[in-house]
């Protein structure tokens, strides 16, 4: 298996997708924000000094998906059809973020989904750091993707 973003001389290179047909692309990514239980309670109750955390983080994630090619040097700018971010408390101290991105384009949207999930997570940290210095982002990964030549992918528990 060869790296797609490295040319034959070992230099970083943007992949040429001009010969690929457009198709419907979808990707979901996840990130987990770990925090003190009191912090998660404040988030869920809307009781933080900086205001409503989840609506702001949702918008930050959507905006991050739209700006992925500005942040990741070799990503293609894509025509996104949809970007969404959802949140769920999966324990008393872990907030799960799932971002989903779709596009009709010639390359995948995995990086956009990952950027949405981490952009939302970073916004949560920014809004909560005054009350919880120990916040961390963990478990960032693609959950699933579909479309394109490489086919579908679904993350399996225990996969690296």
> Rounded distance, CA 21 to CA 10, Å?
27
Question: What does each of the 160 residues of the chain score in pLDDT, given as a tens digit?
Answer: 566 766 777 777 778 788 888 899 999 999 999 999 999 999 999 888 888 999 999 999 999 999 999 999 999 999 999 999 999 999 999 999 999 999 999 899 999 999 999 999 999 999 999 999 999 999 999 999 999 888 899 999 877 6
Quote the pTM value: 0.91
Q: Which fold has domain 25-145?
A: Alpha-Beta Plaits (3.30.70)
Long-range contacts made by residues 78-85, C-beta under 8 angstroms, separation at least 24?
78/103, 78/105, 78/107, 78/109, 78/112, 79/103, 79/104, 79/105, 80/109, 80/112, 83/112, 83/116, 85/57, 85/58, 85/61, 85/116, 85/117, 85/120
Q: How many CA atoms lie less than 13 Å away from 134 in the CB half-sphere? A: 9
- Res 10: pLDDT: 72
Query: 59, 43, 39, 60: which is closest to 51 by C-alpha?
Result: 43
- Res 87: pLDDT: 98
Q: Does residue 22 have an active-site annotation? A: no
Which of 16, 86, 105, 126 is flagged as catalytic?
126
Q: Which residues make Cβ contacts (< 8 Å) with residue 128, sequence separation at least 6?
A: 35, 39, 42, 43, 48, 50, 53, 135
For residue range 16-42, list pLDDT tens digits in order: 788 888 899 999 999 999 999 999 999
- Res 47: pLDDT: 86
> Crossing angle, helix 110-128 and helix 53-66, to 10 degrees?
150
- Res 160: pLDDT: 67
- Res 3: pLDDT: 60
């Amino acid at each position: 298996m060869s790296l797609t973003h490295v040319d034959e001389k070992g230099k970083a290179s943007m992949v040429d997708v001009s010969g690929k047909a457009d198709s419907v692309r979808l990707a979901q990514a996840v990130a987990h924000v770990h925090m003190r239980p009191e912090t998660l309670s404040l988030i869920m109750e809307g009781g933080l000094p900086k205001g409503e955390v989840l609506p702001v983080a949702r918008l930050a994630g959507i905006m991050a998906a739209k700006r992925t090619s500005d942040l990741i040097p070799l990503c293609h700018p894509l025509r996104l059809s949809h970007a969404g971010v959802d949140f769920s408390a999966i324990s008393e101290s872990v907030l799960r973020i799932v971002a989903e991105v779709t596009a009709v384009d010639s390359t995948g949207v995995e990086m956009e989904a990952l950027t949405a999930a981490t952009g939302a997570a970073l916004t949560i940290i920014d809004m909560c750091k005054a009350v919880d210095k120990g916040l961390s982002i963990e478990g960032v990964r693609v959950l699933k993707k579909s479309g394109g030549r490489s086919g579908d992918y679904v993350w399996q528990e225990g996969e690296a």
